[in-house]
Structure 1
Amino acid sequence: MKRKDKDKERLPIIQFMSAGSSGKRLTEKVMAEVGRVLEGREFSSVEEMNKFLEQVMTPEGKIPLSRERTPEEKAQDLIYDAWEMEDKKSRIRLAEQALELWPDCADAYVILAEDKAKSLEEAKEFYERGVRAGERSLGPETFEKQAGHFWGIIKTRPYMRARAGLARCLWKLGQRSEAIDHLQDMLRLNPGDNQGLRYELINWLLYEGRDKEARALLNSYKGDPTAFWLYSEALWLFRHEGPSNRANRALKEAMEENDFVPSYLLGKKKLPRHLPEAYVLGEESEAIVYADLALEVWRHTPGAREWLATSFFWFNLFPRLPLKNAGLK
């Protein structure tokens, strides 16, 4: 049973986008340009602001600056250019040029971590330098006054990207508690979670057996319609109640929203070498990304995959009926 086409939404997976990818990062470039030209101006309405932008915009759709760019802005513009480059060498070159202009350009370190680092340890060092650069660039006052609103402020995004990269490196290096701490604090800074960090965090918490914290996280984003959240909810219930009615209902709801997931979790389909840059709710692309994050958690939960296999069998046989079989109530 699939989500209706009219309800499908193409969602960018920001946490998996590489330095050279397009998409929402390039939208950020436009937002930054608009922010610069609007700097210091006041408008009585959105309509007045849009009219002003139409007047200053060139025929090519560009917005000219009314002042000289700062070294920080010039460096960030080089990063925007780097994101459009297809080859690593060009991205590395532009990132290094950006650092010459502005040593606290956090996004430059993100590019170096993704494209220049030869090992996880080296990538970690680049990300750590990016985080420190972001902290210096933003200053203590931003962390004090804007906590809860990060990412909505464009200037905070390079720091958030660097810190997310650092957390992933730490996780892969086995420094899991520290990795979890980073993501939890980032959700404090940006509870709206534009980066989709909760989808990694929920699996990290479950993998580490920190189920109480996982429950709190699930409750914080209750109503999330993605496979990431629905299958995580079902798995959490199974870990605590076994194949209970609540767990079965949750799993059935998850399979109704995306029935591609079980095939990947059960090994009937192999995950591709490269993850998709974007996914569609209810479609195979979403299942691939979720399974890549959650496979180890399902494997390490005793009986979970057996429960999933039996439930999936009955779901396919009687999709409109409650899950019932020898092992389920």
Structure 2
Amino acid sequence: MERVLVGIASARRGGDRRSAVDEAQNIMCDAWEAPTREQAVALARKALAVSADCADAYNLLAEEAAESLEEAIDLYRKGVEAGERALGKKVFEEDVGYFWGLLETRPYMRARAGLAQCLWEAGRREEAVEHYWELLRLNPNDNQGIRDLLMPCLIELGRDEDAERLFKQYEEDGMAVWMYSRVLLDFRKQGDSPAAEKSLRAALDQNRHVPSYLLGRKKIPRVLPGYYGFGDENEAVLYAVGNRAAWKATPGALEWLAANTRS
């Protein structure tokens, strides 16, 4: 399907002759479906030989071929630069707010998200946060779930005002990340309080499994789940993995959670 949509996007941008970027992107469709890592990497390199502006080729190489975190950062950065060249300045001036809805922006968005995650892992945290904010500015609908990555970063950095601003931007989100982030923000602001207790009750109603994984009562599986559903254990596992550092960065938060979820 994406292969077909690439052709449609190409036609809308200027005729029915596919550009080199579109040809490279079609090769990437094959790369994602390749049966082995080696074949996928070879196809990504083939795509770059067709067009150096194929951001998704850099994305795949960052995920599958990078031998270090710094190499992954370099590849993702090249992917961002490739995406910028492929899209052109006009898209960044006229289509802000609609990114991801435009198919041709997705490789760039994937590259920038991957770059942000690697920068955070490398300890370059302010840089990572800036990229996350920019992704949300370009695509406030947040099809990538960037807000779920940004929220614990802000809390861990002690940027509670920014975290509150982010929460209000997506306050209708009813998933575990948002419900338990509300709990943590209330505890950070008021400590053991009626507000924090109320938020905790609401969060437990949404997903009762989270405290068990957050507190270590249940072990995180060696292989993380590739999907999750509303209120299920997979959601709890992924929340704990992504957010425990933010809870640990809040003095007394885990102890308070343990005392209020003994049953």
**TM-score, normalised on structure 2?**
0.95
C-alpha separation in 1, matches of 2:35 and 2:183: 40
Deviations 1:84-115 (A, max 9, x none): 12321111101000001111000000001001
* Structure 2 match to 1:21: none
C-alpha separation in 2, matches of 1:233 and 1:252: 11
C-alpha separation in 1, matches of 2:5 and 2:204: 38
- Given candidates 132, 140, 160, the residue that maps to 1:183 is 132
Helix, strand or coil at the partner of 1:278: coil
- Matches of residues 6-45 of structure 1 in structure 2 within 5 Å? 28-33=2-7, 35=9, 39=12
Q: Which runs of 5+ in 2 are unaligned?
A: none
- Given candidates 142, 149, 158, the residue that maps to 2:91 is 142
C-alpha separation in 2, matches of 1:247 and 1:231: 10
- Matches of residues 300-319 of structure 1 in structure 2 within 5 Å? 300-313=249-262, 316=263
Q: Which runs of 5+ in 1 are unaligned?
A: 1-26, 41-65, 317-329
Q: Which amino acid aligns with 1:175?
A: R
> How many residue pairs were aligned?
262
Helix, strand or coil at the partner of 2:228: strand
What's the offset of the Cα at 1:32? 3.1
- Confirm or deny: 8 A CA contact 2:32 2:40 kept in the other structure: yes
C-alpha separation in 1, matches of 2:52 and 2:148: 32
Helix, strand or coil at the partner of 1:85: coil
Q: Which amino acid aligns with 1:186?
A: L
* Structure 1 match to 2:160: 211
Identity of aligned residues (%): 47
More RCO (CA 8 Å, sep 6+)? 1
C-alpha separation in 2, matches of 1:30 and 1:307: 53
- Given candidates 3, 19, 25, the residue that maps to 1:76 is 25
What's the offset of the Cα at 1:68? 4.4
**2:107 pairs with 1:158:** yes
C-alpha separation in 1, matches of 2:177 and 2:35: 30
- Confirm or deny: 8 A CA contact 2:9 2:104 kept in the other structure: no
Distance 1:111 1:208, change over 3 A: same
- Given candidates 280, 286, 290, the residue that maps to 2:229 is 280
What's the offset of the Cα at 1:67? 4.4
Helix, strand or coil at the partner of 1:279: coil
Deviations 1:134-164 (A, max 9, x none): 1111111111111111000010000000000
C-alpha separation in 2, matches of 1:191 and 1:132: 22
- Given candidates 108, 124, 135, the residue that maps to 2:73 is 124
Deviations 1:6-61 (A, max 9, x none): xxxxxxxxxxxxxxxxxxxxx54454355557x49xxxxxxxxxxxxxxxxxxxxx
What's the offset of the Cα at 1:310? 1.6
C-alpha separation in 1, matches of 2:171 and 2:81: 33
Q: Aligned-pair RMSD on alpha carbons?
A: 1.6
C-alpha separation in 1, matches of 2:174 and 2:111: 28
* Structure 2 match to 1:171: 120
Q: Which amino acid aligns with 1:278?
A: Y
C-alpha separation in 2, matches of 1:255 and 1:281: 12
C-alpha separation in 2, matches of 1:249 and 1:216: 20
C-alpha separation in 2, matches of 1:166 and 1:73: 23
- Given candidates 105, 108, 114, the residue that maps to 2:54 is 105
Q: Which amino acid aligns with 1:112?
A: L
C-alpha separation in 1, matches of 2:55 and 2:140: 21
C-alpha separation in 1, matches of 2:223 and 2:50: 34
